[in-house]
Amino acid sequence: MTASPILETIGLEKTFPGVKALRKVDFRLFPGEIHTLMGQNGAGKSTLINVLTGVHAPDAGEILLGGKPVEFSTPLEAEAAGIRTLYQEVNLCPNLSVAENVFAGRQPKRRGAIDWRLIHARAEAALAELNVSLDVTKSLDTYPIAVQQMVAIARALSVDARVLILDEPTSSLDDGEVTRLFDVLRKLKQSGIGILFVTHFLEQTYAVSDRITVMRNGEREGEYLAQDLPVELLVSKMVGHERMTERLKRAATEPPAQKAAVPPFVELRGVGRRGLMNPVDIDVQPGQILGLAGLLGSGRTETARLMFGAERADAGTVTIGGRPAKLHSPRDAVRHGVGYCPEDRKKEGIVADLSIRENIILALQARRGWWRPLGRARERQIADDYIARLGIKARDAEQPIGLLSGGNQQKVLLARWLATEPKMLILDEPTRGIDVAAKFEIMDRVLALCAKGLGILFISSEVSEVVRVSHRIAVLRDRRKVAEVAGNAASEDQVYRLIAGGSE
């Protein structure tokens, strides 16, 4: 590589309360290349972008732009220096015209008045650069998202841009639109702009990237030329191999209980929903853990929500406990003895202002109906019981759940479902954002519950965790189930290969 990097960071560090988000990150972006930043959730991608664009100030380390050290205290300063960013959601004004969106805030003026003719001409020219021709006087929301994305790019480029950062720009685009966006990016890199691209989609990464940087746990795992990095290797570098603790090592080495062929508790046959999840066949056996492995966006959460009735399926049949069942709402699933700990604990799980006691008894009370209250004494008894059994650390049962740590909140949610004496639990990322000690404690409880006959659907983005605890593993890719393997027979590498799209 003869050119010198246009954007470079040296030893970048950033700590948020409780989390080390970036550790000594060295990163380089060359002019005229498309560079993809890969990593799982929480790997530090967003933090790195936020530091590069002036949203956060780094705690330590240097940012060099064109070889000169720079410091941005606001996103505006980064923009002024030529670092333009496009976010996942189109950050434009849908009710303004296309031309207004391209030039909002810096309209060319003539004798104090806005020069509309010039704006329209320039906006058309800027879009023509990107091979897009459209009526720039129409309001932005009359165009599809992909075109809006192009307008956002045109806006970003209408001022001298040296670096273009695209943070998951393709998540709301269809295949044709993605191809179009990529054509534009390839054209742009010819002009010497450095393009930094963040995505979760493996295929897109390889379709467009010259170079890939992998992040994991706030560190730069490595920088590779795209052509030198096979996809399986990329996936295993993203996911990493985690050290195990003693307790779970035991669980891992013991072969999973060889159960006689028990009939499945829940049986999904061709259950799917257009635009959400392709039809899948999934069985969950009592006393067994079915792990769902796959990258973000592969359909893990969607499968869970379909099984819980949180999303209504438009295809397929569900059988619960040997009888056909209709899941129109979560209420139906709960009545069949299914519980669900959602991925987004704060938004979908806890009821923050209510006490621990109220959060624990909520599902049980919902099943009993409003006219049969448990009574304060009984509620207190149930809550205290689970606080002791699950080791929830709180002052008392009347403390609002919002004040607890993530791990303790998760335990309260677990208690909420256990109180309903469920036959099956769906655990979507139950250990996300939880410290290591609590993480293993929760997994330990899950294994104990399962040994007592509870069926579990377990979702985690950490493949090592899925392989460690699951009796069977269903592998998802691109909103489709691509394989199912026995947990004790599977190796992590095998699962990575399946996730990455290789054969068994």
**Residues contributing to the site for another protein (CB under 8 A):** 308, 310, 329-331, 333-335, 340, 342, 347-354, 358, 362-363, 365-374, 416
**Residue 432 C-alpha from the chain's centroid:** 11
Residue 176 or 370 with smaller CB distance to another protein: 370
* Phi-psi region at 214: left, alpha or beta (left = phi > 0; alpha = psi -120 to 50): beta
Q: How far is the CB of 349 from another protein (least distance, A)?
A: 6
Cβ nearer to another protein, comparing 105 with 375 = 375
Task: Report which of 425, 429, 397, 426 is spatially closest to residue 412, judged by C-alpha positions.
Answer: 397
- Our CB check for another protein shows the closer of 8 and 358 to be 358
- CA dist 148 and 177 (Å) reads 11
Nearer to another protein (CB atom), residue 235 or residue 401: 401
Q: Give just the sign of the alpha carbon dihedral 324, 328, 333, 339.
A: positive
Nearest distance in Å: CB 373, another protein = 5
3-class DSSP assignment, residue 170: coil
* Least separation in angstroms between CB 313 and another protein: 17
Q: Closer to another protein by CB, 140 or 401: give it.
A: 401
Q: How many Å apart are CA 387 and CA 444, to the nearest integer?
A: 16
Least Å from the CB of residue 136 to another protein:
33
For another protein, the closer of residues 138 and 331 by Cβ is 331
Nearest distance in Å: CB 365, another protein: 5
Ramachandran class of 160: left when φ > 0, alpha when ψ lies in -120 to 50, beta otherwise: beta
Cα angle 228-229-230, degrees, rounded to a multiple of 5: 120
Please, which residue, 362 or 500, has the CB nearer to another protein? Answer: 362
Q: Which of 120, 121, 158, 122 is nearest to 138 (CA)?
A: 120
CB 204 to another protein: min, Å: 30
Strand pairing category for 266-273 and 219-225: unpaired
Residues 236/40, Cβ–Cβ less than 8 Å: no
Give the closest residue to 437 by CA, choosing from 458, 479, 407: 407
Closest CA to 280 of 44, 99, 101, 479: 479
Closest separation in Å from C-beta 416 to another protein: 7
Q: What number of helices (H) and strands (E) belong to the chain?
A: 17, 22
Least spacing, CB of residue 413 vs another protein, in Å = 9
**Cα–Cα distance measured from residue 209 to residue 229, given in angstroms and rounded to the nearest whole number:** 11
Pairing of strands 277-284, 266-273: antiparallel
CB-nearer residue toward another protein: 194 or 330: 330
Which CB sits closer to another protein, 333 or 382?
333
For the bound state, the minimum distance from the C-beta of residue 286 to another protein, rounded and expressed in Å, comes to 21
